[in-house]
Structure 1
C-alpha cells in the first residue's frame, strides 16, 4: 500500500452551473454532497471512481478521444527521438496512462511521456553504447524505466512528496505561461512545414525565422485552416468537440486529397499488435542509475506541477506522496511492457482539461484509443497531418499564458510577481524542469530574505476603541501617549533576524526618545535563545538610559521561554501583560498618572 497523505475532500466537485432561480434550493436546504459508496478497505479504488457522476461521461469521453489525438502521435515522435522503435510510443500512451488513472490523485493529469523525459531517455541509452538490435535497446529502456519507477516509489515510502510544497501559486502561473511560449515555438515549425535540428529556445526561434522562406505552402494552408476551424468552433459552437472534429476532417481530407503527396507531412506508418513483456537487464543498473535519479526528479516535478496547475477549484488537490507512488508504479509497469519512462505531460493535460475532462475516466478513454490504435486504427492515425496536430496543441495551450493573472499578482505583491516572471523565463531559457527549479530557488531565497528582515511596526490606537494599528498618515487622529512607544515585530524571532530586529527597534527608540517601550509580541509565534539574549542585553542598555521595556500579548509557548530566560527575570511579572490594551492602561494609570500628580499644584 502507498503511504497516505492527509485526507482531502474527496466528495468535492468542480464548480457546476447554477440552477435556474426558480429551482434554487433555499438557504436552509443545502445541496447534498455526493454519496460515498461503501467498499472493502482492501480494494484501493480511486477517489474519482468512488464519486463518479453520470453527467461527467460526455466530457470525459470527448476529452479522452481528443487527448488521444494529441498524445498518440506525440508519443510516436518521442519514441523516434529516443531512438526506440515507433511502437514504443504507443505502449507509453497505453500502460502508464492506464496505471496512473487507477492509482493517481489528480482528476485530469494525462500521463505518458514528455519532451524532456524523452530527451533524457536518449542521453541515457546513448550512455550504454550502441545497441546491436531493437530488442537490446528496448531492454535497456526497460531497465531505465524500472529504475525510475523504483526510485519514485521509494521516495513515496520515505514521504518526500513535501518537495512539491515549495511550488507556490505565482510560480505555477509563470510555469504555465512559460510552457505556453515553449509549446508555441515547438509546434510552429510543424505548422509551417519547416524542418531543422532543434536546440535551445532562442536557437529554435532564430531557425524558424531563417526557415520562413522555405515554408511549405500546402502545409501552412492546412495548418491555418485547422487553426481557424478550431477557434471558430470553440467560439461559436462550444458544445462541439472542436479538436476531434478537426482531426477527423483532416484524416478524411488527407485520404481523399492525398495530402502527403502534396508535401504535407503526416504521422506515417504505425506497426500494430499488443506489447510483449520486456525484461530489464540489471547489469546496466550501475550505469543508468544516476540519470534515472535525475529523470525520477524530473518526472515527479513535472507531474506535480502539471497536476496542481490544472486542478480546478473544488477538486481534491493532488496528494504529493501518492503521486510519487502512482507515477512510480506507472513507470514500473510500463517499463515491463516496452514503454518509455514517463510522467504527467503539461501539453496533453492542457488539452485534456480544456476539452472537458472531469476525471481519470478521460485517461482510460485515451488508453483505450491507444490500445485500439495498436490493433485497429494504425492506418487512420498514419493519415493525420502533423500541422493539424500542431494547430490543436497551440490552440489548447496558448490560453496557459494569462496576462490577467500576472497583473493580479503584481497588484498584490511585487516580489511574487518577480517569482512568476522568473519561472516563465526559466522555463523558456533553460527548460521545463530547470526553469521551475530556478523559480523555486528564487522563491526560497526571497523567503529567506523576508524571514531575515521582518517588519517592525509603530502602533497607535484608533480613538474610542481598543483597536491598535500601525501609525499612518491615513489615520492622523489615532491616539498616542507622551513618553510611550508601541512597537510590534512580526514572525519568528531567531538568530538570523534578531540583529535586524534589534537595529530597527533601536532606531525607532532613538527617534521617539520615550520613557517606556511596550513591545506587542502577538505577531511573534516563536523566539530562540539568541533572540532572548539580545532582548535581555537591550533591556539592560535601555534601563541604563532611563527607558523601561515592557512586553505584551505573548503566546503561552513564547511566554514560557521568556520566563525561563534572564529576560524574564529582569522584567518580572509586573512588566509582562496579557494584551496590549492592558499594558497601555497600566501606563496611563501609573506612569502618566504619577506624572500628573507630580505636576499638579494640589500635590504641592
Structure 2
C-alpha cells in the first residue's frame, strides 16, 4: 500500500468502502486509509535535511553546466556583486547616487563625531569608520540602499562594554581593545555568513529588538546631558538612576547656561526640520542637511563670541589625515585577546541584526532580493579591514539609509560618494571643527535617537502577543535601569524562554464538528462546533519531541478524565474512541513514540480505542519503523478526522453521517 499526507496523493492510497449505514442499506462515502510507507533512503534524507538547513537557496545552481571561465567569473561576481551590477551602470544612475551620497555625507559627518564620543573614542575615529568600511561594503554588499558607518546603539554598546574592561583615560590600551573587538566582530559576522548560520540572529525576536532599541535610545539621550548641560564631571554608568543623580548633583555648580542655550536652540531647530521632512517627503533633504548646518552655525557663533572662554565645552582638536594603519594595535595574544573577542562577538551580532533588518526592509520596498549570507560576509569583511585601518564597529544606519533611499540612490555607489566626501573632510576640513561645541553634537545625537523609540510598535506588540510584550519591556527596562549588556541579556533570555515555553507546552485543541459539514475545528474558536457523542477528538499543534511528549500525553489524559466526569454527571454515553489529529505534527522522536505507547496503554485500561488521523510523512514513517502502527492497528490510522469519525462511531446520528 502507498502513503499520503495532508492531501498529497502522489503515492497510492488504499480506499475501502465504509460500513453499511442503518438507512436501508445505503452506503457511506468512501474512506481513504493511510497506507504503509515506502522504504526510506537514510543517506538521502540526511543529505536533504542538511541542504535545506544550510543551503535552501542552492548557491551552486548558477554554476551548474557552466564552462570553467564562466564559473570563475560567476565566482568573482558572487563575492564582489559590484562586478555584476557595475556592467549595467549608467550616467543617470550615477546622478542619483551622487545626490544621495552627498546628502548622507552631510548627515554622517556631524553624527560620526558624536557617535565616536559615545564609544569613548576621539572624534576622528568616527570619521575613519565612515571612510573605509563603506568602500568595502560597496564592493561586496548586495543592498542598494543601506548606508554604512557607525551607529548610536552599537557605539554605546561598544563604549559601555569596553570601559568595563579598560578605563578610557588609558587611551592607548582602550583604543587597542576597541580595534580588537572590531576585528572579532568582523570575524563573527563573516563566519556566520560563510557557514550559512545567519538563522542564529533570528533568535533575537522583533519584540526584544524593539525594547532594546528603545531602551538604548533613552540611555543614549541621557548620556548626552553631559554635553547638553555643560557638565564637567559625569558618571561613567549608563543606568537612569546614576545618570539623573549625576545631573541633579551638579545642578548648582556644573551647568553652563550658554551651553544649554546653544543645545536647546539647535535641538529645537533639528526637531523642526525632522517634522518638516516627515510631513512632506519632498523635503527629505531638509532634516538631512540640518545637522551640518547646525554644526557650521554653532561653530561660527562660538568662535565669534569666544564662548569657549565662558565655559562652553568644544571639540578642540580632530586629527587631520586619512586612516592610519592599526594592524599592530590589535591584540592577537594576552589577556586582552579574550576580552576583545567577547565584546566583539556581542557587538558584531547586534550590528549584524540591525544591518540585515535594514537591508531587508529597503529591499522589500524596491522589490529586489538580497542574500543574507552574502550580506554577513560583506559586513564581516568591512569590519575586519576596518579594524586594521583605525575604525571601530560599523554597520547599517537606519536614519542614513532612509535618507539614502529618499534621495534616489540606485546602487551602493552612494556609499562610495559618501566615503569620498569623508576623505575630503579628513584631509581638509577637520581643523574647522575645533570650535564646534559639544552641545551641538549632543543635540544631533538626541534628535537622531528619538526615532528609535517606537511607541506604535510597542502598542501593536501588546495587542498581538503578551509574551512578546514582556520580552520587549524586559529588554527596555533592563537597558534603562541596569546597563546595555544586561538589557541585551534579558532580551536574549526572554526570547529563548518564549521558544522553550512554546516547545515544551504546545497548544492542544479540542475539536468539534461544524454543522452540516464533515469539518472538525477547535471548539474554543468556533462556538457552533459540536462534540461527537462517544468520541473525543484532539489536535496537537506542534511536533512531539522529548521536550513536550510527557506534557502532550498528560494533557490529553486530563482532558479525557474531565470529559468523562462531565459525561457521567450528565448521564451521557462514555467515551469509546480518542481521535488524535496529527496534521500539524511535523515530526516525532522516540520520546514522542513512547508517549503515544503509554497513552495507548492507559486508554486500553479504560476500554478506549486510540485512533490517529492524518499523520505526516515523517510521522507515519516513524510510526511504522517503531511498529506502533501495528500496535494500534493499521485500521485505526485515517487520512482525515471525518473518515475516522465515520468509521469509529457505532451510534452516529443522521447529522454526523451527512
- Relative to the length of structure 1, the TM-score reads 0.81
Quick one: distance in 2 between partners of 1:86 and 1:532? Answer: 62
The answer to whether the 8 A contact 2:208-2:475 is kept is: yes
1:488 and 2:539 equivalent? yes
Name 1:456's counterpart in structure 2.
508
Per-residue CA deviation, residues 279-298 of structure 1 (Å, 9 max, x unaligned), is 42788623332112113202
- CA shift for structure 1 position 449: 1.7
Could you tell me which of 115, 132, 150 is aligned with 1:74? 115
Q: 2:198 aligns with which of 161, 171, 178?
A: 161
User: Which shows bigger deviation, 413-422 or 458-467?
Assistant: 458-467
SS of the residue corresponding to residue 285 of structure 1 reads: coil
Quick one: distance in 1 between partners of 2:58 and 2:431?
A: 44
Structure 1 residues 5 and 46: alpha-carbon distance in aligned structure 2, compared to 1, 3 A threshold: farther
CA contact (8 A) 1:192 1:220 kept: yes
Match of 2:487 in 1: 435
Instruction: Give the aligned partner of residue 210 of structure 1.
Output: 249
2:295 to 243, 247, 256: 247
The aligned residue for residue 212 of structure 2 is: 175
- Which range moves more in the overlay, 309-318 or 371-380? 309-318
Gaps of 5+ in 1: 10-38, 597-604
Contact preservation (8 Å) 1:521, 1:551: yes
Kept after mapping to 1: 8 A contact 2:223/2:238: no
Q: Deviations over 1:153-176 (max 9, x none)?
A: 455544443331212111121122
Structure 1 residue 224, shift from structure 2 partner = 1.0
Q: Using the alignment, how far apart are the partners of 2:648 and 2:180 within structure 1? A: 74
Cα distance change, pair 174–48 in 1 and its aligned pair in 2 (3 A): farther
CA distance in 2, matches of 1:445, 1:74: 33
Aligned match for 1:542, one of 588, 597, 603: 603
Map of 2:261 onto structure 1: 221
Equivalent-residue separation in structure 2 for 1:557 and 1:380 (angstroms): 69
Q: Per the alignment, in what secondary structure is the counterpart of residue 382 of structure 1?
A: helix
Aligned-pair CA distance for 1:198: 2.1
Could you tell me which residue of structure 1 aligns to residue 455 of structure 2? 403
Q: Determine if the alignment matches structure 1 residue 301 to structure 2 residue 349.
A: yes
2:578 aligned counterpart, secondary structure: strand
Range that drifts further, 459-468 or 219-228 = 459-468
Q: Pairwise mapping of residues 128-527 of structure 1 onto structure 2 (< 5 A)?
A: 149-150=186-187, 153-154=190-191, 156-195=193-232, 196-201=234-239, 202-213=241-252, 214-236=254-276, 239=283, 240=286, 241=288, 242-280=290-328, 285-311=333-359, 312=361, 314=364, 321-337=373-389, 339-344=390-395, 349-357=397-405, 360-472=412-524, 475=527, 477-513=528-564, 514-527=575-588
Cα distance in 1 for residues equivalent to 2:637 and 2:424 = 75
Cα gap change, 1:436/1:158 in structure 2, threshold over 3 Å: closer, same or farther? same
- Evaluate the alpha carbon distance shift between residue 143 and residue 42 of structure 1 in structure 2; reply closer, same or farther with a 3 A threshold: same
What is the alpha-carbon distance in structure 1 between the residues aligned to residue 501 and residue 118 of structure 2? 42
Given the alignment, which residue of 83, 102, 105 partners 1:61? 102
How far apart are residue 505 of structure 1 and its match?
A: 0.9
Distance 1:510 1:579 in 2: 25
Q: Sort the Cα spacing of 1:146 and 1:462 in 2 relative to 1 into closer, same or farther, 3 A.
A: closer
Task: Please say if residues 235 and 242 of structure 2, whose CA atoms lie closer than 8 Å, have aligned partners that are also in contact.
Answer: no
Q: Which moved more, 1:143-152 or 1:368-377?
A: 143-152
1:57-108 alpha-carbon deviations (Å, 9 max, x no partner) = 5344312221121103433x368x35xx765554344223432343345542
**Structure 2: runs of 5+ lacking an equivalent:** 1-53, 60-72, 565-574
On the 8 A contact 1:533/1:566 being kept in 2, the answer is no
Relative to structure 1, is the Cα distance of residues 425 and 98 closer, same or farther in structure 2, using a 3 angstrom cutoff? farther
Map of 1:532 onto structure 2: 593
Distance 1:342 1:61 in 2: 23
3-state secondary structure, aligned to 1:290: helix
> Deviations along 1:346-373, whole A, 9 cap, x unmatched?
xxx2442454456654543443333222
Q: CA RMSD in A?
A: 3.5
Q: Is the 8 A contact 1:64 1:362 kept in 2?
A: no
Task: Report the 3-state secondary structure (helix = DSSP H, G, I; strand = E; otherwise coil) of the residue aligned with 2:314.
Answer: coil
Question: Is the contact made by 2:161 and 2:485 (CA closer than 8 Å) also made in structure 1?
Answer: no
Is 1:152–1:324's contact at 8 Å kept on the other side of the alignment? Answer: yes
Q: What's the CA shift for 1:343?
A: 3.3
Alpha-carbon shift at residue 385 of structure 1 (Å)? 2.0
Q: Is the Cα–Cα contact under 8 Å of residues 189 and 349 in structure 2 kept in the other structure?
A: no
Match of 1:592 in 2: 652
C-alpha spacing 1:153/1:130, structure 2 compared with 1 (3 Å): same
Change in 2 beyond 3 A, CA 1:468/1:235: same
Aligned length: 549
Report if aligned partners of 2:180, 2:341 keep a CA contact under 8 Å in 1: no
Quickly say closer, same or farther: Cα 1:138–1:429, change in 2 above 3 A: closer
Q: Provide the rounded CA distance (Å) in 2 between the counterparts of 1:512 and 1:399.
A: 53
SS in structure 2 of the partner of residue 496 of structure 1: coil
**Cα offset for 1:566?**
4.1
1:441–1:540 CA distance, 2 compared to 1 (3 A): same
TM-score calculated relative to the size of structure 2 = 0.74
When residues 46 and 203 of structure 1 are mapped into structure 2, their CA distance, relative to the original with a 3 A threshold, is farther
Flag the 1:262–1:521 CA change in 2: closer, same or farther, 3 A: same
